[in-house]
Amino acid sequence: MKRAWKTSITPATEGRQAETFREDPDADPDEGSERRSAAMQRTYKTRVGAAGHARIMNTASPLEPIRFDTKIAVLLRADLEPWQRLNVTSFLVSGLGTQIPEVIGDPYEDADGVPYLPMFRQPVLVFEATKETLTTAHTRALSRSLPRSLFTSDLFTTGNDRDNRAAVRAVPTAELDLVGLAVYGPKNAVDKVVKGARMHP
């Protein structure tokens, strides 16, 4: 399976420009990839941090608007109850920061110097879709090897992390009853994954 994107985390290459790859089999080669790649190289560099993780630092001027060539998207099944939507979204995004540290910004502090935890450095876009569209999005995310997290209907009946993982492990990939999916990667790739869904109202 081809990887749709990669960021170099090779030691001794601190400051190396982030590399993006367009190996999506149904990508349009005329879709402006060279322009986006050039813009990304002007704005971001990778830095190897603790545990060898690559972190992307913003080198743009403080006066320039910050734009990202990546996207965080959450896709929810349209028939969920309001409390389920909130619960699923919270669980789905919780894994991104631990596995992809570059999505986390700097810690916060108010005017009195009270510190607060860091959060995502960029917006999280939430979509809703039918069960069929969600299943298709899952397949697309897998085919592009994009980082993703999932929530199945079985997890509404469990009460702890151990049982959650066991419930997912017990079901083959093609038979997962998905109610939510989170995905991260280059904008173009994520847009293709969520194609057919609509922005959450």
CATH of the domain at 129: 3.40.1490.10
Using DSSP, state whether 125 is helix, strand or coil: strand
Residue 169 domain-assigned (yes or no):
yes
Q: Where are the alpha helices (DSSP H) in the chain?
A: 33-43, 82-94, 96-99, 131-143, 161-169, 187-193
The predicted structure's pLDDT at residue 200: 86
The predicted structure's pLDDT at residue 92: 94
The predicted structure's pLDDT at residue 60: 53
The predicted structure's pLDDT at residue 198: 81
DSSP 80: -
Residue 16 domain-assigned (yes or no):
no
DSSP 118: -
CB 187 within 8 A of CB 71: yes
Provide the residue range defining the domain that includes 97.
Answer: 69-199
The predicted structure's pLDDT at residue 80: 95
The predicted structure's pLDDT at residue 59: 53
CB 183 within 8 A of CB 75: yes
Strand partners of residue 58 = 44
The predicted structure's pLDDT at residue 95: 86
Residue 22 domain-assigned (yes or no):
no
The predicted structure's pLDDT at residue 50: 41
Q: What is the pTM of this model?
A: 0.66
The predicted structure's pLDDT at residue 136: 96
Q: Please report, in tens digits, the pLDDT of each residue of the chain (201 residues total).
A: 444 454 433 334 333 333 333 444 455 444 444 444 444 444 434 444 444 444 445 555 567 777 888 999 999 999 999 999 999 999 999 988 888 888 999 999 999 999 999 999 999 999 999 999 999 999 999 999 999 999 999 999 998 999 999 999 999 999 999 999 999 999 999 999 999 888 888
Angle at 82 between CA 182 and CA 135, to 5 degrees: 35
Using DSSP, state whether 113 is helix, strand or coil: coil
Q: Please tell me the total count of domains within the chain.
A: 1
CB 18 within 8 A of CB 42: no
Residue 124 domain-assigned (yes or no):
yes
Residue 77 domain-assigned (yes or no):
yes
Angle at 81 between CA 75 and CA 83, to 5 degrees: 90
Cβ atoms < 10 Å from Cβ of 147: 16
Residue 110 domain-assigned (yes or no):
yes
The predicted structure's pLDDT at residue 98: 84
Residue 156 domain-assigned (yes or no):
yes
CB 93 within 8 A of CB 72: yes
Residue 90 domain-assigned (yes or no):
yes
